Structure 1
Amino acid sequence: MDRIRVERAGPVTTVTLARPNVLNAIDAAMHDELEAAFNAFAADPDQWICVVTGDGRGFCAGSDLKSVVEHGHKGYPAHGYAGLIERFDCPKPFIAAVNGLALGGGFEVALACDIIVAAESASFGLPEPLVGAVALGGGVHRLARQIGLKQAMGMILASRRVSAAEGERLGFVTEVVPDGDLAAATQRWVDAILKGAPLSIRASKEAVMRGLDEPGVADAMRNQADYPAFATWRQSEDAGEGARAFAEKRAPVWKGR
């Protein structure tokens, strides 16, 4: 892989978009590399959290339009744009560590993650209409669901770019930190998540995401036992480890199974 870097530290995979000379714009080859990296993360039982970030001064400027003009649109991989925006079947948590510009498809990648930690200098937007395109990689749908219709329409229809601070106020950014603190803040979120049982984390994420598609809370609560990650958690070794550890006055040892 020459367009991304993949690093594993314990149960954490970090995927870094690594085309800093074009603000990590995504071309066809990068789509394929990201698909392969996220497939490997999703399939590895020993990898529990994925951090997505960018190299240089940008998180991701979206699609590499020069490449599209030169080579045509090659289509997206099985899990959609960047191999991530249609990865609805992965209950493992994704954290976007946004270090700079997150525009167009780059913003869509961040929105597809469960937590967004942003440096103060980061900014976000869906400028697709300015180049005759539409943010159909989940951007128009996720943004409207995550911040409310009127604010989303303002950003989408006017191609409005917002700062990290405004993103936090609107509700799609989880936390804003000084530029030099992004790595430490992201690690703090990782460490906090790792304190919980990984299968409990996955069951929780799946219950939230699938529950939002249910007609109401009563339906979500009635159907949650049928969600795949819920069933896996309930039958797992870890489901009883927490109670045993509490009774034995020790820290739990999670196995992810």
Structure 2
Amino acid sequence: MTDFIEVRREGRMTVFTIARPEAMNALNAPAHFEMAAKLDTFATDPDQWLAIVTGAGERAFCAGNDLKQQLAPREPVVPPTGFGGLTNRFDLDKPVIAAVNGMALGGGFELALACDIVVAAENASFALPEVKVGLAAMAGGLLRLPAHVGPKRAMEMIMTARRISAQEALDLGIVNRVVPAGEALAAALALAETILTASPLAIRASKAVMRRALEGDIREAMTAHLDWPEIVAMMGSDDAREGPRAFAEKRAPAWSGR
């Protein structure tokens, strides 16, 4: 097991820290699977009642998928439980808090959207920039963001790849609270302590009922949309290869539309 994901247990809570600061905490395939395995352990541990996910340092929570890895002969693999082992994990009844300490981009934003509560530092920012590299936000961003902010706002954010501030995310209902820079994890820990004073079974029952009512068809769509013709065409296109290549080479992409 590698150490891309640091795990710290504090009483009844588990803190997961994405520890790839040199890559703005972007996740590569080993990091995805490591986090998935560690979330599996948390999910089945009767002594752990709540999780917090954060990133190392203060610049980035998670900058998404490691695009440079997509230039390798084999494309990066994400576990069945989704980006970071969380975005497709629909059976986790324990609460998860995101402590967003900096940029949450692409899959990083989708990771935060998959959490139950989001605490953001005032220097945090959020965006789904996938279209700028010839891809789409397929780890739940296309499905969860409209549910949070409405279809019109979501469509603009996704099509323009516009980055929003922590305050705007708060105003839009994406974030629960904004705290001073450097204090996201401390604020999340304090919030977790409050949650842990309640009955864990009551918390899990409450989460289960709310999530089932709110998610509706998201569970099916997370799998089904990967086979929709528009997604298949995009993933098999020259542009899907050109985008990550241009990103890695630090140049503007030359789109062909095919």
TM-score after normalising by structure 2: 0.81
**Pair 1:10 & 2:11 matched:** yes
2:44 maps to 43
1:123 maps to 125
Distance 1:85 1:213, change over 3 A: closer
2:165 maps to 163
1:88 maps to 90
Q: Post-superposition shift, 1:195?
A: 1.2
For 1:54 and 1:14, how far apart are their aligned partners in 2? 10
Q: 2:142 aligns with which of 127, 140, 143?
A: 140
For 1:59 and 1:213, how far apart are their aligned partners in 2? 24
The one-letter code of the counterpart of 1:61 is: A
**Pair 1:55 & 2:56 matched:** yes
1:24 maps to 25
The one-letter code of the counterpart of 1:152 is: A
Unaligned runs of 5+ in 2: 218-258
Q: How many residues align?
A: 215
**Secondary structure class of the residue paired with 2:16:** strand
For 1:214 and 1:80, how far apart are their aligned partners in 2? 18
**Secondary structure class of the residue paired with 1:130:** helix
**Secondary structure class of the residue paired with 2:15:** strand
Q: Post-superposition shift, 1:213?
A: 4.9
Please list every run of at least 4 consecutive aligned residues from structure 1 whose deviation after the TM superposition is greater than 6 angstroms. none
CA RMSD after TM alignment:
1.3
**Pair 1:107 & 2:106 matched:** no
Q: Post-superposition shift, 1:181?
A: 2.5
For 2:216 and 2:17, how far apart are their aligned partners in 1? 34
Conservation of the 8 A alpha-carbon contact between 2:28 and 2:76: no
Q: Counterparts of 1:213-252 in structure 2 under 5 Å?
A: 213=215
Question: In terms of mean alpha carbon deviation, does 62-71 or 95-104 score higher?
Answer: 62-71
Conservation of the 8 A alpha-carbon contact between 1:27 and 1:68: no
For 2:21 and 2:135, how far apart are their aligned partners in 1? 24
Q: Post-superposition shift, 1:192?
A: 1.2
For 2:74 and 2:169, how far apart are their aligned partners in 1? 33
Conservation of the 8 A alpha-carbon contact between 1:13 and 1:51: yes
Q: Post-superposition shift, 1:188?
A: 1.7
**Secondary structure class of the residue paired with 1:206:** helix
TM-score after normalising by structure 1: 0.81
**Secondary structure class of the residue paired with 1:109:** helix
Encode CA deviations 1:106-151: one digit per residue, 9 max, x unaligned: 0000000000000000000000000000001001110001111111
Unaligned runs of 5+ in 1: 216-257
Higher relative contact order (CA 8 A, sep 6+): 2
